Amino acid sequence: MKTNRRNFIKAAGITGGIVATGGLSSCGGGGGVSPAAEPTPTIWDISTNKGQQVFNMSGYAAPKLDVLRVGYIGIGGRGMAAVKRMALLEGVEIKALADLHMDRIDEAKAYLKKLGMAEPKGYADGSQELWKKMCDNEDLDLIYVATPRDLHPSMCVYAMESGAHAATEIPAARTMDECWSLVETSEKTKKHCSMIENCVYDFWELLILNMARQGLFGEIVHVDAAYVSNQINTNLDKNKEWRTREFINRDGNIYPTHGLGPACQALNINRGDRLDFMVSVSSADFTMGKEIEKRAKEDDYYKQFIGQWKLGNINTSVLKTVNGKTIKLQYNVGNPRPGTRVHWVVGTEGIAKKQPLPSRISLGKGWVSAEELKALEEKYTPPIIKIAGEMAKKVGGHGGMDFLMQWRLVDCLRNGLPLDMDCYDAAAWSSIVPLSEWCVANNSVPVRIPDFTRGAYKNNEPLDIAKAKGGGSTKIKTTIKFDDDYF
């Protein structure tokens, strides 16, 4: 039976209303002093929810599913790739597909037919709301959301209210109200809401996480994280206008989770520690506005965007946890820099860095040699890589981490295990989007990051992705031949 739904998504946007500070509470301020002598607020708190936790989803193991019935919303580039990877796994039935365009659904059906799988039900007639019929009509265990970012939260909420777990591309939300709606709905329905953050499953990140869990670096005190990608052309692609509009009149870190996700895992965020407050600063824009003006001289399409690009070339945010740890988080997609996903884990007895390449480790006496690094890798390669690493390399997807991410999601749901990324992670990591925008718009005054666990983080046990405890039973279908050009 379908449960009654209510709309958790409020109409407040992040580009206009969130910059006002009137009525916001802070931990600073002084009564009875003149305006000239009144101190600047120390940390602003713009959170909209102070209620009590209904049910703790951290560490929650939903009933295991021998067969995972999956529905997809959005069969574009990422959605199609996700369908293809998911179809390779035993114990998965792809039951339904929803998209605005039937040709995409037909392409996915043809691929599934090639694998000998049953044809899923297709939902496509150009309607923006047709995906809801899929949620209402189909018996689904998991709904996978691969649509433009502004649609993620409402679709996840509807999916959970329909009785299915939700998995979404990143980020999961764009406003504080949306972040809270994901948490509230997940707790109420006891359905998982997991963000599909592939960088958590990068082989190096998992190796370093395993080393950190076993104390190789001492206590982890800081992580440098960044997402740097030359997306000047991608973000002005006429065929992907939603991406251009995602940036219009916005300034902050609007795509934080690639760097932040692995950092939070290393620091046990929401599981013994939590994010406390942040400061965010953006440079001016020196490239994108000029590029739009240049293109507008040759193509009238770009005239509509003249003067509207506000995102600075580089956003730098500094986050502090309640236990005194720190994260430096950077975002840069508007410069011709080579792609770099910085991941530096700093401990009291050693550090590890991913990029710029080569990846290295130091245990207090300079970088270890290539021979020493190889020995460390052999000793600390985590079980999850040993179990599914070869499968992931064969299938691919950002070096295999995309497949490893989906394999792990399926394996947890089929074996009744807690997910590696729950609703609190989805909310906390995504909250950096609106909080950084507010912070930049308010002269980089520190802003509080809400405790989405509402106190439960103190007793939540750290999850250990690297060990993949209790799982590992999900296999690739034996009928698959990897010399075929499925991808």
pLDDT confidence bin for 127, thresholds 50/70/90:
confident
For 65-102, write each residue's pLDDT tens digit.
Answer: 999 999 999 999 999 999 999 999 999 999 999 999 99
For 331-341, write each residue's pLDDT tens digit.
Answer: 999 999 888 88
**Higher model confidence: residue 84 or residue 33?**
84
The Cα 108–Cα 80 span in angstroms is 7
DSSP 3-state assignment of 225?
strand
Phi, psi of 281 (to 5 degrees): -130, 135
Quick one: which of 294, 311, 312 has its CA closest to 303?
294
The Cα 371–Cα 377 span in angstroms is 10
Quick one: which of 293, 298, 309, 203 has its CA closest to 246?
309
DSSP 445: -
Q: How many CB atoms lie within 10 A of CB 476?
A: 18
What is the pLDDT at residue 481? 56
For 395-422, write each residue's pLDDT tens digit.
Answer: 888 889 999 999 999 999 999 999 999 9
Which residues have a Cβ under 8 Å from the Cβ of 483 and sit 6 or more positions away? none
CA distances from 287 to 12, 204, 428 (A): 30, 33, 31
Relative orientation angle of helices 152-161 and 130-137, to the nearest 10 degrees: 20
All structural domains of the chain: 68-196 (3.40.50.720), 199-383+424-467 (3.30.360.10)
Quick one: which of 155, 150, 175, 149 has its CA closest to 16?
175
The Cα 118–Cα 225 span in angstroms is 42
Whether 32 shows a pLDDT value over 50: the answer reads no
